[in-house]
Amino acid sequence: MSYPPDGPYGYGYSEPTPWATGIAVIVCVGLLTATGVYAFGSALAQVHPLLSAAVNLIAVGGATPTAWRWRFQPVTRWVIGGLGAGVLVAWIALLLS
Quick check: is 7 in a domain? no
Decide if 71 is inside a domain.
yes
Q: Does 50 fall in a domain?
A: yes
Domains: count for the chain: 1
Does residue 55 form part of some domain?
A: yes
Per-position pLDDT tens, the chain of length 97: 555 555 555 555 566 778 899 999 999 999 999 999 999 999 999 999 899 899 999 999 999 998 888 887 878 889 999 999 999 999 999 999 8
- Is the pTM for the entire model greater than 0.75? yes
32 within a domain of the structure (yes/no):
yes
Three-state secondary-structure class, residue 92: helix
Nearest of 72, 77, 96, 21 to residue 88 by alpha carbon: 96
Rounded CA gap, 71 and 82, in Å? 12
* Distance of alpha carbon 23 from alpha carbon 51, whole angstroms: 33
Nearest to 97 by CA among 47, 27, 39: 39
Q: In whole angstroms, give the CA distance from residue 4 to residue 42.
A: 39
Residue 29 domain-assigned (yes or no) = yes
Name the residue range of residue 77's domain. 19-96
